[in-house]
Amino acid sequence: MDQSYINQINDLLTTVYNDITRVEERELRKSQFKDISLREVHAIDAMTMYEHKTSSQIARDLKVTPGTVTSMVSNLVRKGYVVRMRGNDDRRLVRLGLTRRGRLVYRTHDYFHRHMVQSFIQGFESDQVQMIEKALLNLQAFLEFPVTKTKKKE
């Protein structure tokens, strides 16, 4: 493949990633949810609306350490977005659920992403959307297991 395409696609991916983050943060600051960070919104998103996951499950989904999730969850509990629930069978097991306010954040964030994706694929035929999906799956697989090559010294 021509190096100019690779450079152009790299620039576009970087710009799109940065723009998505910037727009999400800007919209968050304009909303009624000024007291939470974008990382906390993504933790709420990982919790989902009705599943009650453990911190370990959320850490795995977010690809962060359990300690990071514990810290975020403590903040979200204090701010009224999340509740900790003890298991009925095993009281040591703590599951996390969203409060009414947490579910509102979840729905708002979901709405943003749903409209972003609809805008992204607008005007494409079904087979073209499948090609985009395949390209994104390839990218996701690479990011899951990045290949680092070093140049040999000559």
Domains of the chain (ranges, CATH numbers): 31-144 (1.10.10.10)
Q: Supply 74's token pair.
A: 């403590």
Which tokens hold the place of 131?
Answer: 């090609």
Distance CA 71, CA 74 (A): 5
* % of the chain with per-residue pLDDT over 90: 76
Residue 49 has pLDDT above 90, yes or no: no
Phi, psi of 135 (to 5 degrees): -65, -40
What separation in angstroms does the CA of 88 have from each of 50, 65, 104, 128?
A: 17, 26, 27, 48
> Which pLDDT band holds residue 18 (cuts at 50, 70, 90)?
very high
